[in-house]
Every structure is written in C-alpha cells, then in structure tokens.
C-alpha cells in the first residue's frame, strides 16, 4: 500500500510524541501541517520563520531520525513557511526550504513581508492639540539581561525576543503573555519594548496598563476628545497593554480597543498584551476581541523550577553586590516556591534584617526570616524540595535523581520522591513524572504502588520512609 503524506507525517508524530514533553509537542508539532510527498521528500507547512528556526535548532536530530525511519536513508524534508495577512485576500507568501543533514544547519531565510505601509507624515499632531513627544513609559530596569531564562518562561522569552528583533514582522502578532501573579509578565513586556527601542530608535513604543487606558478613554469621552484618543493610539508602532483582563465587563472600552487593535494589526504594527489567564479562560471579554488575541501566539509564564529560582537569586545578589553563602541561597529557593516576586521579597527582607541588626547573613537568620515571612500562610511543599531531601538522605547527587538512569539505588530513591510528591503536593501525576526524570503518569502510579508494598513488607524500608517524612515536615 502506497504511503500518503498524511500517513507519513502522522507516523512521524507518533514517534516524536514519545520523545518530547506534552507542552513542547503541543507548541511545536501540532501546528505543523503535511503538504505533499514527492518520492522520498516530505513537505510540511510551518506558521513562521521563527517556528522553522526553532525546529532546526532544537529538534532537527529527532525529526531526521523519524523521517529516515519512515522514508528510508534517502528521506528528506522540505519546509513551507507561510505568512498571511488577515486583512487582505492576497495569496500567502510561501517559501520552500530543503532540509539538509543533521550536521549542517539550514541557513537563515530572508522572508519579505508585504505590509500596508500607508505612513502618516506627522504622527503626533492630533486635531486641536500641539505636537507631542510620546514617552514610552517603559521601566529601564526590566530588560532581557535581567530576565533569567528557564523552562518556565523559555517559549515566552524566545517569542518576545523574536518580536523585539522584527516588530510587526513575525507570526506573533499579537503576542499574548499570560500567567499568574509575580511570574514576570510585566518584566518581559517591558523588555520587549526596551529592545525594540534599542534596535529601532525611530519606532514609537508605548507601554500602558489597561486600567490607565480605561481612565484615559473615560476622560476623552468627558472632554469630547473621543476621536483624538483613537487617533493617538492608532499612531503607535508598538503598543504594549498590560493586564488586559481588566477590560472585562467594560463594553465601550472594549469597542474602542477593538478599533485600535484592528487598525494597528492591519497596518503591520506590533501588539504585545499581558494577562493573568489564557484567552480561553478570560471571562467578560467580547468574543470578537478574544478571537483576535488568538491570531498570534499565546505564551504562558509558569512557576520557576528550583534551578531557575537559584539562578534568579544569584543574579540579583550579584547585581546588588551582596555576599551570601550558597546554602542560604538554596534555602530561600527551596522554601519560596510560589513566584518570582515573593522570592525577591524574601531576599530583600533577609538583607534588610542583616543590615539593620548588623548580623551576618547565615542559614539560621534565613530560617528565622522565612518563618516570619510565611507564618500566616500554609507553606507549600514543592517537588524540588522533596527531591532535595530524598537525594540528601541517600547521599545521591540531585542531578542523578532527576536523570533517566536505571541504576537500582537511584530508581528506588526516585520512586520515593514520586511517592511523597503525590501525597504532599497538589501536582498532577504527569507533572510529577516530568520533574522526576521525564517519566509519564503511569510510571508515577507504579512507583507509588511499589513504595506502598515495600512499606508493608520491608521494615528497613519503612524506617527510610518515616525518617524522610520527618525531614520534609521539619524543614
């Protein structure tokens, strides 16, 4: 039976899915569409140049192996990159790129984008108003240099950097950055604006909080300057709106933002939005506005893992010229797990206590401060923290516990870590498995059953569990 291009690509996806985590598969492989199969050459369609470059940089070996498995050693891959303007009926601009072997990376491709460039000669002269100098309102402290990269923000940061180097010229328009409180959304949004100002000094960049936008609109209505308000925002080259969830329930404000959004997007201007929820979870926003938020890329900012939290603290300490023992840094990182803002707040509190009381920064001082810092809240035990306790107990390197090694003593320690993670955290089985050596939920369930069986049948093992449980509870 002759293979179809759909069947070949589906077979490739089946293999790829088993070799990457669920989020990466959803982000980088689900959007790909197979186009045609010509002999041993499969053509796939990807949504943007950035998307193609990311695949080539991070997944080329895996893709090559799957293609060779399906099409033989002569199997080749071609990319079809499509850029399509949503406002015109022009044909998509397509470019085919033949894939080369894994050792030679594909050269960057220059992809012209036809943007409707009806420039306004004097963009800051508004009817009835004098010429304005628009201040960007960006925070100079929130740069890319100060934003530590980790698994928690890699997609959003990479997309933001791509936008900063080609505003209005990527598929990420709008770029919606979403996530919980204190995870760095505002920092990243400002960093994008600052980088654009550095790369393109003549572009007008404006950062504005959604609440301020609402107040400005109300004032414009009161002062009969409604048209001036619209005209002003339609002149901006890069518009950054922070916390768009505050538009919920404000119908008139949403209507006006809808007009501004359409104009900016149609004329190739860049929009960057932040929100505390993904588009699908935003309640109180009009459907037509939500659909436009989905035109580009929605990238989430997650809670940083242990390594990223340590890196954030070390960068902050270095920048402030503070001398702090590594054990104190690790103690803060293990105990403050909710978000970056609280992590930095704990660091500031510790430094303040040390300075005001003229005490050296020690582990004991950190313990006292942490007790006060979280005394009114239930301390959340993290998977990272459990892994640290278990690895210390068995005198194993933490990296070994998180690896995929099948050594017996490591497997047992990893199973114990999974057991406590399931019983002491709110994390899903999939999340626990991902952080414990990249395992799936079935492996976590098997580990929990194994530990429960050993507790009932092995007295020495039961002692291990009791002692580790006490260590976790006493920290």
Q: Which helix (H) or strand (E) holds 416?
A: helix 408-424
Separation of alpha carbons 262 and 256, rounded Å: 10
Residues 347-390 pLDDT 10s: 877 777 777 777 777 777 777 777 666 544 445 677 888 888 88
Residue 81: beta bridge partners? 46, 95
The answer to whether residues 194 and 138 touch, using CB atoms and an 8 Å cutoff, is yes
List, in order, residues 6 or more apart from 133 with CB less than 8 Å away: 124
Res 89: pLDDT = 35
As to burial, measured by CB atoms within 10 angstroms (0-12 exposed, 13-18 middle, 19+ buried), residue 14 is exposed
Q: How many CA atoms lie within 13 A of 81 on its CB side?
A: 21
Q: What is the CATH number of domain 154-301?
A: 3.40.50.300
102 has a pLDDT exceeding 50: no
Model confidence at 69, pLDDT cuts 50, 70, 90, reads confident
317 within 8 A of 350, measured Cβ to Cβ: no
For residue 372, cis peptide bond before it (omega within 30 degrees of 0): no
Strands 76-83 and 93-98: antiparallel
For the segment(s) 306-373, the CATH number from 3.40.1790.10, 3.40.50.450, 3.90.950.20, 1.10.8.60 is 1.10.8.60
Gap between the Cα atoms of 433 and 421, Å rounded: 10
Q: Cα-flanking dihedrals φ and ψ of residue 299, to 5°? A: -120, 130
- What is the residue-averaged pLDDT of the chain? 77
CATH topology for the 5-98 domain = GMP Synthetase; Chain A, domain 3 (3.30.300)
Token pair 């099948």 is at which residue? 406
Query: What does the CA dihedral 314, 318, 321, 326 come to, rounded to 10 degrees?
Result: 30
Q: Is the pLDDT of residue 428 over 80?
A: no
Delimit the domains of the chain by residue range: 5-98, 154-301, 306-373, 383-474
Highest mean pLDDT among 155-164, 313-322, 419-428: 155-164
pLDDT at 391 over 60: yes
pTM score: 0.51
Q: Where is average pLDDT lowest: 255-269, 307-321, 458-472?
A: 307-321
With a cut of 90, say whether residue 337 has pLDDT above it. Answer: no
pLDDT digits (tens, 9 = 90+) for 179-211: 877 788 888 999 999 999 888 888 888 898 888
Statement: residue 334 has pLDDT above 90 = no
Give the alpha-carbon dihedral of 145, 148, 149, 151, to 10 degrees: -170
pLDDT for 240: 92
Q: Token pair for residue 64?
A: 């090559």
Q: End-to-end CA distance of the chain, in Å?
A: 62
CATH architecture entry for 383-474: Orthogonal Bundle (1.10)
The CB-side HSE value for 100 (13 A sphere, CA atoms) comes to 7
DSSP string over 289-312: HHHHHTTSEEEEEPPP-HHHHHHH
């Amino acid at each position: 039976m002759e293979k179809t291009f759909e069947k070949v690509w589906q077979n490739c996806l089946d293999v790829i899915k088993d070799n990457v985590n669920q989020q990466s598969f959803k982000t980088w492989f689900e959007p790909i569409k197979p186009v045609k199969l010509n002999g041993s050459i499969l053509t796939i369609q990807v949504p943007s140049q950035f998307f193609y470059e990311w695949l080539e940089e991070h997944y080329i070996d895996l893709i090559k192996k799957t293609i060779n498995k399906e099409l033989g050693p002569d199997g080749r891959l071609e990319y079809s990159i499509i850029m399509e303007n949503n406002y015109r009926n022009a044909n998509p601009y397509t470019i085919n790129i033949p894939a080369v072997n894994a050792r030679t990376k594909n050269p960057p491709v220059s992809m012209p984008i036809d943007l409707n460039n009806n420039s306004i000669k004097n963009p800051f002269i508004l009817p009835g108003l004098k010429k304005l100098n628009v201040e960007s309102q960006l925070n100079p402290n929130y740069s890319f240099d100060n934003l530590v990269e980790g698994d928690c923000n890699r997609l959003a940061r990479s997309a933001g950097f791509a936008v900063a180097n080609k505003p209005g010229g990527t598929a990420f328009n709008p770029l919606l950055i979403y996530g919980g409180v204190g995870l760095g959304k505002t920092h990243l949004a400002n960093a994008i604006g600052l980088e654009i100002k550095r790369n393109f000094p003549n572009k007008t960049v404006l950062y504005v909080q959604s609440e301020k936008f609402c107040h400005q609109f109300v004032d414009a209505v009161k002062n009969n300057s409604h048209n001036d308000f619209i005209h002003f925002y339609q002149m901006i080259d890069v518009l950054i709106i922070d916390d768009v969830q505050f538009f919920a329930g404000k119908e008139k404000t949403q209507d006006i933002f809808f007009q501004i959004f359409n104009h900016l997007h149609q004329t190739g201007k860049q929009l960057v939005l932040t929100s505390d929820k993904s588009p699908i979870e935003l309640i109180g926003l009009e459907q037509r506005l939500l659909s436009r938020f989905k035109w580009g890329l929605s990238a989430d900012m997650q809670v940083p893992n242990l390594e990223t939290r340590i890196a954030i603290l070390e960068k902050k300490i270095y920048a402030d010229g503070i001398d702090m023992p590594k054990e104190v840094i690790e103690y803060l990182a293990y105990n403050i797990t909710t978000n970056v803002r609280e992590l930095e707040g704990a660091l500031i509190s510790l430094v303040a206590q040390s300075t005001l009381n003229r005490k050296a920064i020690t582990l004991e001082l950190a313990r006292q401060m942490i007790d006060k810092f979280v005394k009114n809240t239930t301390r959340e035990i993290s998977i990272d923290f459990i892994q640290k306790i278990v690895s210390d107990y068995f005198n194993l390197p933490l990296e070994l516990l998180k690896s995929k090694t099948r050594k017996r003593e490591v497997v047992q320690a990893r199973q114990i870590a999974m057991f406590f993670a399931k019983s002491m955290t709110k994390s899903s089985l999939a999340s626990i498995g991902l952080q414990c050596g990249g395992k799936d939920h079935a492996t976590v369930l098997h580990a929990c059953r194994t530990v429960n069986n050993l507790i009932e049948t092995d007295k020495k093992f039961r002692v291990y569990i009791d002692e580790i449980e006490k260590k976790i509870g006493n920290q």
